Amino acid sequence: MSRKPAILFVCLGNICRSPLAEAAFRKAAAEVGLDAEADSAGTAAYHIGEPPDPRSIAIAADHGVDISHYRGRQIEARDFDLFTHIFALDHSNLANIRRIAPQGHPAHVALLMDMVPGSEGSAVPDPYYDGEGPFEYTWRIVWPAAQALVERLATSK
């Protein structure tokens, strides 16, 4: 029996990109009625327990998703058993995830953009230091990626 999809999105701080990826995935899954778990985490411990960056909260709200209750956390060993898929937002996150992955873990680990035909192998750039504009740009990248992921999960049963 195949497990219910459980998706973990991982960036560096878990306050900018991965909360937006989680929000986009939740919205895309709800739109097609896909039953899946979702969470996000950071590879770094900088923002544990903190809400997302206010710029991420604002962009998610613009797109109809409230992420103000999300709280930062760091990826941990048990995530590799709890989640069926772990998606890194950039290459550095991917390398760090692979470095801490327990041997023989069952989770599928990849870049989020590997889900988007034509954008395989590319990163979602870090918007943290760049003001407001990059956050709308981040949404415009993670939204189609989330839709592509949902479509794959919905059709792989």
**Range list of H helices, 63-115:** 79-82, 91-100
Distances in Å between the Cα of 126 and the Cα atoms of 64, 72, 108, 134 are: 22, 16, 23, 8
- Choosing from 5, 17, 28, 153, the residue that interacts with ligand 4NP (CB under 6 A) is 17
Question: Rounded to whole angstroms, how far apart are CA atoms 82 and 68?
Answer: 24
- Should residue 128 be labelled a site residue for ligand 4NP when binding is judged by CB under 6 A? yes
| Closest residue by Cα to residue 112 from 55, 61, 152, 74 | 152
- Choosing from 7, 8, 15, 113, the residue that interacts with ligand 4NP (CB under 6 A) is 15
Contact flags string 26-55 toward ligand 4NP, x per CB under 6 A: --------------------x---------
Number of residues that bind ligand 4NP (CB under 6 A): 10
For binding to ligand 4NP (CB under 6 A), which residues are involved?
11-17, 46, 126, 128
